[in-house]
Copies of this chain bind each other. A is one copy, B any other.
């Protein structure tokens, strides 16, 4: 299995605090050592980093822990391989372009005997069940809408498509097009909204505390989505089984 980390904000925010705790699980506090990756949207643009080294040891992960990249939509993943070899093309998150936007996807879980019909314009480069699922989702989204639809419309379409994948196994995933972050839980996924008044947060995986009050303005709003809570002193909300939530501007859209 793997672990997921997502962030969605109303103001570009750096993810160094969450990323620092999260990447400890890539070899130090947990054994997700089969590569890692992270993608940061900056407007329509994207920074995408993947590495087959354990996140706790990777020089690229070290750079990201130190270099504050500000983003409104971040997806990170640390891998413990179930299907597919340990190599770069099997590292999440995966990226594709659709309707002149980048789409980023990362998956935690295992889809058994999952061989969807990929007859259109999205094909996996690697050999994971996860990239197959992403390509199928992109294919079906492309068929369902002629151009980029609203977040609400996309959420409705995803609610129709996702059960067709999740019946094959565990399908916890994060998806973003830079405008929203969609998160779906089959089993384990938690989220936390941080807003005014901001307080201190204490990492569960490393001896590190940050006082967000000193780094934020009252209008800031940040949601963090993760496989297992990252902090010890905050209240994380568990996703219900098969719940799909869209996050926009740091807030859950529950419509």
Q: Is the CB of A42 within 8 A of B87?
A: yes
Q: Which residue of B lies closest to A120 (CB)?
A: B121
In the complex, whether A218 has a CB less than 8 A from a CB of chain B is no
Which residues from B are CB-within-8-Å of A48? 48
A50 to B120 Cα, complex, angstroms: 29
Which residues from B are CB-within-8-Å of A44? 88-89, 125-126
A3 to B14 Cα, complex, angstroms: 31
In the complex, whether A63 has a CB less than 8 A from a CB of chain B is yes
In the complex, whether A122 has a CB less than 8 A from a CB of chain B is yes
Total residues of chain A contacting the partner, CB 8 A: 36
A45-B91 contact in complex given A63-B60, A67-B59, A102-B125, C-beta closer than 8 Å: yes
Tallying the copies of this chain within the complex gives 2
In the complex, whether A196 has a CB less than 8 A from a CB of chain B is no
A88 to B100 Cα, complex, angstroms: 14
Which residues from B are CB-within-8-Å of A236? none
Q: Is the CB of B88 within 8 A of A101?
A: no
A206 to B43 Cα, complex, angstroms: 35
Q: Which residue of B lies closest to A101 (CB)?
A: B125
A3 to B117 Cα, complex, angstroms: 42
A47 to B59 Cα, complex, angstroms: 13
Contact of A87 among B45, B49, B88 (CB under 8 A): B45
A42-B122 contact in complex given A59-B63, A59-B67, A63-B60, C-beta closer than 8 Å: no
Contact residues, A68-104 vs B (CB, 8 A)? 87-91, 95-97, 99-102
A123-B95 contact in complex given A45-B88, A63-B60, A88-B42, C-beta closer than 8 Å: no
Which residues from B are CB-within-8-Å of A97? 96, 122-123, 125
